[in-house]
Structure 1
Amino acid sequence: MSNVYDILVERGYIKQVTHEEEMKKIFETEKVTFYIGFDPTADSLHIGHFIAMMFMAHMQRAGHRPIALVGGGTAMIGDPSGKTDMRKMLSKEEIDYNISCIKTQLSKLIDFSDGKAILENNADWLLNLNYVDFIRDIGVHFSVNKMLTAECFKQRLEKGLSFFEFNYMLMQGYDFLVLNKKHGCTMELGGDDQWSNIIAGMELIRKKEGKAAYGMTCALLTNSEGKKMGKTENGALWLDANKTSPYDFYQYWRNVEDSDVEKCLALLTFLPMDEVRRLGALKDEKINEAKKVLAFEVTKLIHGEEEAIKAQTAAEALFGGGTNMSNVPTVSIPVGMKNAGLMDILVYTDIVPSKAEARRLIEQGGLTIGDKKIQDKNETLLDSDFKNGSVLIKKGKKKYYSLIIE
């Protein structure tokens, strides 16, 4: 069994660990059962979760057993970590639907067959808890003074932290305890914003059960300026193809900053590190080859090789002088809109969210139809604009759409 700790360090995952030397030895000699929690507050994971999925996948490939814990119970409260406002509360039906979608996405990187990985939902043990028993049994092990020093709470104290949310750390700690008893889970992994919650669970097991337990966090996905990656003009970079198309997903990685390429290759692909370093060392125009590799590999992992090839082909057609436009993202309008104003068409097809945004796009010279830059906000599409049944719309410098009439 290879020591996954060395792999994780070399690729840049590890941010903080609770017992480094002990954990190194354990990874060398034991098959570790560990867990990572996923918050089912949406029906898709986004790119911020992808690094946790890769973290988990490397552990599984090294022979260790993952538990993917979806927070069907804790989602009814909401994790205050990294949040300045209280989260919207979801219904049980919404949460159950989100969980089913998340499992499908996790299965792209994690093998759940034959007990190689486990999916658990903390609603199974949290929703039927007797509150008085829980506070007597679990709450007694938590110091309020210590909890208030945790970063996830400190930043909320000024705006107000409800007791409702204050319970979250106890519940996440209890999750670790339950998984420890049920599956022999001895380790919790997560993003670095979960450090306080991870320590709380680890200490709960050590105090209550007298057993060894450990925690490890991975770096959050940030660019060279320390800002979170995965934000687009339309919001988060989702893993669901219906929320972020494979083409847009590919283009995001194709256009990352030069200084972020090597880090993204190390964290978000399974390429050998020798190849990662070779690609990351490319300079000037040659770095674009590394970006193409990054975009293809990440898109392949999330959307499959076929969709990655389609996205690559479309990008080459638009930017590399290729001719195959069939994979450029397609939008459509009904025949009755054929002579409508361009601003109405842009809003109808969700190319822009509003007429105000469409007007601003045109005024700034950011809209091109075919080969013609649009300067008049009252412009309409003409029959002559359609070539072979479609018209190419260019938004800004890098967004392309093929418009057809249904």
Structure 2
Amino acid sequence: MAVAQAVLRCGAIHVPVPRSNPRERVARIAADARPALIVTDHGEQVAGTVSLPCADLLKEAAHGPGAAHHPVRPADPAYILYTSGSTGTPKGVCLSHGNALAFVDWACRELDLTAADRLANHAAFSFDLSVFDLYGAFRAGASVHLIGETLAQAAEPLVDFLLERRITVWYSVPSALVLMAEYGELLERGPGALRACVFAGERFPLKQLKDLRRGWPGVRMLNWYGPTETNVCTSYEVTAADLARTAAVPIGSPVAGDEVSLDGGEILVSGPTVMLGYWGGEPQAGPYRTGDLGRYDADGLLEYRGRVDDMAKVRGYRIEPAEVDGVLVAHETVRDAVVLVVGADLDARLHAFVVPETGRAPGLAELRRHCAVFLPPYMTIDALHVVSGFPRTPNGKIDRAALGGLVAQEVGA
């Protein structure tokens, strides 16, 4: 976090990459971002780049003069967040100081953040949810309490953290809260000092959401929506009235000065939080097409209805199955591969269908180890189906619906 602050204060661009990313993926990101310097806290070096361990950086800082603050303009790039890419290569979402500030200022006002607040940073720095945790806290003069990658998946210790640190504002994907409720006695132990609970990144299963709303009557609960390219662009506050709902809560109304519209059912966003563009590509021009489908309910609130393409959310992260396809085909035993996301919301899993090379068919454990070399843990396949070929539609495309039917047959068998 200190390095991120230093980078931004000297007017440079920050590119956070979690240590859970394998070396090969970090190298691909470095090749695309072309960083002037890589700072690492775990000794990893990337060939062809200038790298510096955190320990050495701290030694230099202790004996050198403080760097002067470098003024920046709102339109200047601030950070690049790399997401899964449909071409098989991670793509960098480039956001400006103005993009971040528009969202952070709105969020601070919406949640009435003050210096007395205590925020928990559950998301990795490369995940856009962390922008609120870190910079919302800095903006309000509040404290932010970092949650390590190991702790982030541990139910009972997470609840301990929430209560012992007296967290007042929590922000995470719904799956983290469901995990804490099912295995960490979150509801039984109460919210402690918590006054606001915000969630985003995936749909919150209605039953679990109602349980949380019912169990925490004094805690504000907000459903935020927006792809990395726009950060948060809509919001909906979940109240006691939603206990009567029989369908998912809406994603709400535009926020942070953004305008949200529908074109053929696809959600379009324009306004101050929309990215500068993809790093190395053309500047973003006009409204950003999210690829998400939406519709308005009877109250004029926006509802999320799915995707127009194959991109999906798995374990709270955005995943392009084509990127996983490319990694699988690189394995010596795989001739061709197609990855499907089976299930929805918290039950979404990655199923790989592979056509083996002549000789032997690969096993699930073998391909999971292979994925771990090139992909972050959340993109590792969950199931393997070895097939002799892929079913095709009349126009020659792979029939993904038919492949999904094979999964259903196996489950029912």
The TM-score with structure 1 as length reference comes to 0.29
Determine which structure has the larger helix proportion and give its number.
1
The TM-score with structure 2 as length reference comes to 0.29
Determine which structure has the larger strand proportion and give its number.
2
Higher relative CO (Cα under 8 Å, sequence separation at least 6) belongs to 1
